Structure 1
Amino acid sequence: MIDDIKIRDIARKVATANLSSSTAVSDIKTRSFIDSEGHDALRITIIVSPDGASRIQGDATLNTLVEIQAKLRAAGEGRSPLVEFATEGEPDDGGDS
């Protein structure tokens, strides 16, 4: 298991590289949780600007999800990531900063 700082750094780099340059990634939140099968898992929320959210294309989203998973595994993270997107100002789900 790698630390939250490293997880956020990986997710931010991947999201910034894959999402349109006009989509501002303003924050990455992470938290541990137990998945539906009882396994340790990792929730990653990519926070984007309200005006940038509508510019995210399907392929960019999929590429971001796949690449985050691959880079986390390569870094030694064993938990399965659940990657979500939210816009600035949406209610906080309790993830870490």
Structure 2
Amino acid sequence: MTDRASAQADENRRRNRVREGTRVTDSVGQFDWVGDRLRFVSEDGSQDFQVLENLTMERVAQSMEQSASKITWTLSGVVTEYRGSNYLLIEHVTLKSRRQ
């Protein structure tokens, strides 16, 4: 990612930041690796969170490593805030579909 793209992504996150404790329910989207962390982006682009490490995230990462195709997920969790950024603690996730 270029410096300009990274700065734009940071600005988008700041603009779309939500309050600590906000519940995310049945959000459909995909996970991607950003460095050594997972990021979840909803299909409509309205939600974009770095994912906090827990057992559920570990299972998502294992599924991603075993799949050659993109996976769409449905998840629920709670949003946290730290130093002006949002993070998502996944509580429940299900595989919705695999794209070729």
- TM-score of the pair, normalised by structure 1: 0.25
- Larger helix percent: 1
- Larger strand percent: 2
Structure with the greater relative contact order (CA < 8 A, sep ≥ 6): 1 or 2? Answer: 1
- TM-score of the pair, normalised by structure 2: 0.24
